[in-house]
Amino acid sequence: MFKQLPTSVTIAEVGPRDGFQNVKTFIPTADKIAIIEDLIAAGIKNFELTSFVSPKAIPQLADAADVCRIILAKYGSQINGSALVPNLRGAQSAWEAGIREVACVISVSTSHNRANINRTHDESIADLAKMLESLPEMTVRVDLATAFACPFDGWIHPEAVGALATRIHQLGVRKIVLADTIGVATPDRVYALSTYMRQQFPDTDFALHLHDTRGMGLSNTLAGLMAGITTFETSIAGLGGCPFAPGAAGNTATEDMVNMLRDMNITTGVSREKLIEVVSLVAEKVDAPVNSHLAKAKLYECLN
């Protein structure tokens, strides 16, 4: 049944951006740095370090440039540090802070795209084209939000995802993240969309961003693995959630993902035990609940 499973998986840690952005109490920059450093010590190499957005919109990430400069100055040769940007101006700020890969969000649902970034698809595509033209040396990936379902429009058909991805692909983008923004996807839908997209765009690297709203994060991960996806975005302690997706809970916890893959003999290069130590630091420094199944159950105490 599981013959198609990959032997190794890339974990992309989005906690410093997606996990922190909704936390109301400001996390001191030094604490953010400490958490990221401990994640690096645990073996994480791919990060979404922050987002270059207006501090008025997301006060928590007002220190984006400082976080990037400090981390990249010390660990730039060891990690791939990216950032989310809403527009060309954000991408330029990211470049000045040393970032060489950015993520742009476009929602497959037109209603959510309007609620999230106040743009039509045409406007989003035009801004993406401008970014690619203005920063040719920057790697740009696109996060397709609401790729499975939208809080306003309901279920999203794979053909709608493919149609938007075609426009993005025509601009030269070859890295796309399929996001279950509100965490209602099911394994059959994850398998179907992942398979469809890999068939339609064989030259594109796809990743999955799976929220755990209904406790389906890990089962959906397995479906993605069976469809050939080998990169997954996760958040330490299961932090996160979309402010423009009512009811959306946190991301799949990094430690839960690593725990499952470790016991399935799928290599991640990340230490489960060290991640649990990071969760303790997050619980101490971040004013938000820990949503990790592994940490809550404390089963790690008897695991080898």
Percent of the chain with pLDDT over 90: 85
Number of domains present in the structure of the chain: 1
Quick one: which of 237, 220, 238 has its CA closest to 229?
220
Under the banding of pLDDT at 50, 70 and 90, the label for residue 51 is: very high
Under the banding of pLDDT at 50, 70 and 90, the label for residue 241 is: low
Does residue 241 form part of some domain? yes
Measure the CA angle with vertex 175, ends 95 and 221; round to 5°. Answer: 120
> pLDDT of 112-158, one tens digit each?
989 888 899 999 999 999 999 999 999 999 999 999 999 899 999 99
Quick one: which of 286, 259, 298 has its CA closest to 18?
286
Does residue 155 form part of some domain? yes
Does residue 151 form part of some domain? yes
CATH at 192: 3.20.20.70
- pLDDT at residue 248 in the model: 54
Does residue 4 form part of some domain? no
Does residue 2 form part of some domain? no
Write out the residue range of the structural domain in which residue 256 sits.
10-302
Per annotation, catalytic residue among 68, 104, 150, 242: 242
Task: Output the pTM of the full model.
Answer: 0.94
Under the banding of pLDDT at 50, 70 and 90, the label for residue 246 is: low
Does residue 165 form part of some domain? yes
Q: How far apart are CA 10 and CA 233, in angstroms?
A: 9
- pLDDT at residue 302 in the model: 47
Does residue 80 form part of some domain? yes
242 has catalytic annotation: yes
| 59-82 average pLDDT score | 98
242 pLDDT exceeds 80? no
Does residue 72 form part of some domain? yes
Q: How far apart are CA 162 and CA 165, in angstroms?
A: 5
